[in-house]
A and B are shown apart, each in its own frame.
Chain A
Amino acid sequence: MSQGLKINDLRVSVAGNNILKGIDLTVERGRVHALMGPNGSGKSTLAFSLTGHPNYQIQSGSATLDGQDLLELAPDKRAKAGLFLSFQYPAAIPGVKVANFLYAARQSVHPGDLTPAKFRALLMEKLEALDMDPGFLGRYLNDGFSGGEKKRLEMLQLAVLAPKYAILDETDSGLDVDALRAVGDSVNGMRRSEEGKDTGFLIITHYPRILQHVKPDVVHVLIDGRIVKEGDAELAHRIEREGYDTLREEIGQLA
């Protein structure tokens, strides 16, 4: 069985427009991959295509999770296979309490592995680790949440669901320094935990700010629907210094 979240020559269109034009990328267990790129380069499209959003049409290519074909699975089955997406804009669902939702999700992904009491204990532990008020649990899912609260709830779900692969879509956007640090801490905390030490991360970001808190092992740069460059953490620093334009020029010259 082939380990890793493997994406091969993936081509995706949205409403008739070709957005991803052949993506090759492998996220390895226990490693942190950063996917960087300017606005409109297709970063979120990749995240939604992998998780099975109905608006994204796969034209060709493949995506496998530890050898299992993801693209033929419904979104819930992909989550059960071990995939998680932290949404840039999570949906608000009035009337559904955070605690009930988390329990339903945990039960779906890891059926019957925790009694309600043990689940409660896990929840409390993760809340404390994320410095979140237990009052969160009684609120309706993302309903009236601030941007920072939504991101924290995404991090709480990440911790509770302990996926094999986690995609964080612009989890740093719109966050202040403290909230950014909290997100960084939660990813690092997860990587140190028994449940999360083997989780492979794909951190999608426009700005490299988050990468000051979570050090990437590999950096992929996505421009205009293609991975144009790969490197180590130094590549992220370079983008921070120079922006995407010099990179574009460099690629233009190569082409």
Chain B
Amino acid sequence: MPSAVAGLNVPANFESALAALDANVLGAQERRDLLARSFELHSGRERPGRFWKIDLENLDYSALTVATAAAPVIQAPQARGLIACDLATAARQHRELFVRAFRTAMRERESKFGALASALCNTGAFVYVPADVAVDGAIEIAYNADDGALFPYTLVLLERGAQCVVVERVSGGTGAFVCGAAEVVSSENSSVTYASEQRLPENARVLFTRIARPGKDANVQWAVAELGAQLSVASVDVLVDERGVEAHINALFFPREDQHVDLVSTVEHNAGDSHSQTLVKSAATGRGQARYLGNIRIAKHAQATESALRDDALLLSKRAHIDSVPALEIAANDVKAYHGATVGALDDEQIFYMTSRGIARDDAEKMIALGFFEPVIQRFPTEALRQRLRDALEEKVSA
């Protein structure tokens, strides 16, 4: 069979891996097409320049080895009819539900790294919450990229009136490579919070494409913490195709040393009477580099939309750099849209105030920097996760 990806920088064992990767999830030919598509697409991401040092259009995957990876560790509370299993099991045993949701929100043919994640998907998780079931407690999904490259795909499907909280954790060994996707498809009046905690070692690379498509009057919340990895490329999207949606995107990141973070969030309002709120807090230290692009798009017929975007960036060293770009495209006339962005160093008056109370300057700076993140930390689910984030941030501030 002719390969569409011959001559490209694909993992060396790609052709032989195809046979082993789960065909129930995605067939070999479709995987091949998606991989070729990924190489065709431009990422639209930050380009190498004075600050940013990585060329995302020409990442070399040839050194990667792709194999079927271990299923994630999934811990789910007891709830009537709840399914929380690995993706391959779902593709076999819950075929109808799987097909109803899989790649219905993800626009993988339009996203360079979404296409890559789908093409090479070698592990994943599936969560299904039946109608009117409120899952009490978080569903925890832990991916571990210890061996080889990990391409996890998390699929969440909520029926009418269902409620759940998903906490995804991504960790791994030194030099790990992770390219994943998360897709949330929800029905009328449902409510879902999806949190992600990325804590890979600081020489890892991670690329994540996340998208949610909520149903009518549904509530969907993303809470994404990009803390680890040398390179972290993330997109977090909400597609508002139904009316009455409440959508929140919350994110934090904190590159230090040579870490690079490129985050794009997009809320696409294609139906009216909806609210969206985007809140992003970031800091950088050392030679940490980051770019955040916050898109809000309101289509012409999406009247009575209310949308707010706020992002604040804190620079803790002279060589750290954060580019922050809110981008609003509004075609409707009866909407309320707010955006605000700040980039700055720690405030001298705040430091002086705290030190005048006897608090040492280093401690004052730490407290102020941690306090800076607190409003977004508050939007993450579970106290355990919030505390882990505070601890991780404190470690970064102290280093």
Contacts and interface: CB of A to CB of B under 8 A. Distances in A.
Interface of A: 51-54, 74-76, 78-80, 84-85, 87, 90-96, 100-101, 104-105, 108-109, 140-141, 157, 161
B256 to A, nearest CB: 19
B333 interface: no
Given A95-B373, A96-B368, A90 B361 contact: no
Contact of B371 (A76, A96, A161): A96
B254 to A, nearest CB: 14
Interface string B335-366: 00000000000011110111111111101100
Nearest to A51: B356
Given A101-B367, A104-B363, A104-B367, A95 B357 contact: no
Interface of B: 347-350, 352-361, 363-364, 367-368, 370-375
A79 B352 contact: no
B228 to A, nearest CB: 22
A101 B354 contact: yes
A93 B361 contact: no
A109 B371 CA distance: 22
Contact of B360 (A90, A94, A108): A108
Contact of B358 (A54, A109, A140, A141): A109
26 contacts: A52-B352, A52-B356, A75-B355, A76-B355, A76-B358, A76-B360, A79-B357, A85-B356, A90-B353, A91-B349, A93-B350, A93-B354, A93-B368, A94-B375, A95-B373, A95-B375, A96-B368, A100-B367, A101-B357, A101-B367, A105-B354, A105-B358, A108-B360, A108-B363, A141-B371, A161-B357
Contacts of B358: 76, 79-80, 105, 108-109, 161
Contact of A94 (B352, B359, B372): B372
Contacts of A78: 356
A53 B352 CA distance: 7
B350 A91 contact: yes
A95 B353 contact: no
A74 B361 contact: yes
Which among B350, B353, B359, B361 has the highest number of chain A CB atoms within 10 Å?
B353
A46 to B, nearest CB: 15
Nearest to B363: A104
A95 B352 contact: no
B394 to A, nearest CB: 13
Nearest to B370: A95
B135 to A, nearest CB: 29
A93 B359 contact: no
Nearest to B347: A91
A99 B114 CA distance: 45
A74 B371 CA distance: 23
A97 to B, nearest CB: 8
Contact of B357 (A94, A100, A140, A157): A157
Which among A104, A140, A157, A161 has the highest number of chain B CB atoms within 10 Å?
A104
A87 B354 CA distance: 11
B359 A104 contact: yes
A140 B360 CA distance: 20
B374 A109 contact: no
A140 B353 contact: no
A74 B364 CA distance: 13
Which among B352, B372, B375 has the highest number of chain A CB atoms within 10 Å?
B352
Contacts of B359: 76, 104-105, 108
Given A52-B356, A96-B371, A101-B357, 4 more contacts: A79-B358, A95-B370, A95-B373, A100-B367
A109 B357 contact: yes
A93 B355 contact: no
Contacts of B372: 94-95
B355 A79 contact: yes
B363 A75 contact: no
Contacts of A52: 352, 355-356
Which among B353, B356, B358 has the highest number of chain A CB atoms within 10 Å?
B358
Nearest to B312: A94
Contacts of A104: 357, 359, 363, 367
A87 B373 CA distance: 25
A93 B371 contact: yes
Given A91-B349, A91-B350, A140 B355 contact: no
